[in-house]
Structure 1
């Protein structure tokens, strides 16, 4: 097993500080892989996957908490309709600048996958590869139903504490930022079609065939509309978090994709 060194960083932005970590293999090669977390996620919730990814690929791996999540500063307001697209020019751009990253590979899970598409489109000359996992390309009834179900579950006694463990007193904001943003009427016709057309790098699209937040229509749309070459892998018997449910398969697919 390749030795991996873990480091912590703080990224300054006009809205507040972001917490970041990177995992650096002993003989790092290629460009960094930058991870973008899901709607309830943070660096800590990637658990041991970043270290596994760094060891398996030999690439430096970077993950950061978006503003309002994990150990980063609180978000000053609410998430507007364009929050997915805006991340490329906000937290992601700050991470690139302050960690001295030029070319990169971006890997996003769930809504972080949509943000990864935005980053690949906005930094098309610098993004060497795009990996998306369980991402949403548009607003689907299955996605909205999954969010409603989760909202009811978090309303049960003691359930919000699951988020408090990772987000502290920001937990309620994190939950409402996910649920209320996706369920608002103004979000109904949101999609990533315009950004997908601007993606030029190779894309790997991973999706579980039992994903409770999105059907196979999402990876199909991603691969059909991306401006660059794309590969879709439908993971059998897998739900919404492949890097946790089928980590070995995800790592093997990423290794194969990066060549």
Structure 2
């Protein structure tokens, strides 16, 4: 259990057999409705494939973390996570060199953190990251609201979030549909990034178009590799796991020089 500004954030450390002491750490940043459990065993699989240790943690309001103070969240909540919370998480966990693996909101946080040019960041992998809000994004979010209020989404989320279920949903859904948030755009931050990026997105992502990938790769100040995953929606690491695992493993090996195993 990590503590940041007095807030309890559950975390899981991963260390595959043979991982070298002092090797860079894979830090997993979950989606807007995510938790440690919703990653399932993908973090363990990537750590085994790369030979690197890992850290998976839950942001405030998710899983068994402390509850949100309220919602909708401020327009700058992703920036706050990247600039204030994530650096303190890494400090609390004793992590220096790292590679970020961020999904959806977690991908946006990874990009915002990379724009700070932290010394220990070897690279960042994003899946379904947003750098601006699209019409398809809002349509997907409104469809999720219908599924939560009238369908079976609430009990599905309750399995992973328990008492935080309403907070985690409305802290995401109500925020992204606020008129002020529909104008959110972080593309002006991308030019500050210098570390390498692997930018992944499902070709059939229900929350974003390939314009997101194009904008990230065109705007980044460092090398950025686009990867549009065919026959895949918003969760590539589950929906196209073999291809995604192979691509991530190769990128991490390039960035870390294969330092994962003794």
Shorter-normalised TM-score: what interval? over 0.9
Measured against aligned partners, the alpha-carbon deviations of 1:64-103 in whole angstroms (never above 9, x if no partner) come to: 0001101111122331100111112333122211111112
Aligned partners of 1:180, 1:202: CA distance in 2, in Å?
Answer: 33
- The runs of at least 4 aligned residues of structure 1 exceeding 6 Å deviation read none
Among 90, 101, 113, the residue aligned to 2:107: 113
Q: How does 1:38-49 map to 2 (within 5 A)?
A: 38-49=31-42
State the match for 2:189 in structure 1: 195
Answer yes or no: is 1:18 the counterpart of 2:18. Answer: no
Measured against aligned partners, the alpha-carbon deviations of 1:158-200 in whole angstroms (never above 9, x if no partner) come to: 5311111111111111111111111111112211212211111
Answer yes or no: is 1:213 the counterpart of 2:207. Answer: yes
CA contact (8 A) 2:117 2:194 kept: no
Q: Residue 14 of structure 2 aligns to a residue in which SS?
A: strand
Aligned partners of 1:140, 1:91: CA distance in 2, in Å?
Answer: 26
Aligned partners of 1:235, 1:51: CA distance in 2, in Å?
Answer: 21
Deviation at residue 218 of structure 1 after TM alignment: 0.4
State the match for 2:260 in structure 1: none
Answer yes or no: is 1:56 the counterpart of 2:59. Answer: no
CA contact (8 A) 2:108 2:131 kept: yes
CA contact (8 A) 1:106 1:119 kept: no
CA contact (8 A) 2:117 2:192 kept: no
How has the CA–CA distance of structure 1 residues 43 and 250 changed in structure 2, closer, same or farther, with 3 Å as cutoff? Answer: same
Q: Tell which deviates more after alignment, 102-111 or 70-79.
A: 70-79
Aligned partners of 2:171, 2:6: CA distance in 1, in Å?
Answer: 17
Aligned partners of 2:84, 2:2: CA distance in 1, in Å?
Answer: 11
Measured against aligned partners, the alpha-carbon deviations of 1:212-245 in whole angstroms (never above 9, x if no partner) come to: 1000000000000011101001111111000001
Aligned partners of 2:6, 2:175: CA distance in 1, in Å?
Answer: 20
State the match for 2:24 in structure 1: 31
Unmatched segments (≥5 aa) in structure 2 = 255-262
Q: How does 1:51-130 map to 2 (within 5 A)?
A: 51-78=44-71, 79-130=73-124
Q: How many residues align?
A: 250
Q: How does 1:94-173 map to 2 (within 5 A)?
A: 94-156=88-150, 158-173=152-167
Among 217, 241, 245, the residue aligned to 1:247: 241
CA contact (8 A) 1:15 1:76 kept: no
Which structure has more relative contact order (CA 8 Å, sep 6+)? It is 2
Deviation at residue 123 of structure 1 after TM alignment: 4.3
State the match for 1:3 in structure 2: none
Taking structure 2 as the reference length, the TM-score comes to 0.92
CA contact (8 A) 2:128 2:201 kept: yes
Taking structure 1 as the reference length, the TM-score comes to 0.93
Deviation at residue 23 of structure 1 after TM alignment: 1.1
Unmatched segments (≥5 aa) in structure 1 = 1-9
Aligned partners of 1:148, 1:158: CA distance in 2, in Å?
Answer: 15
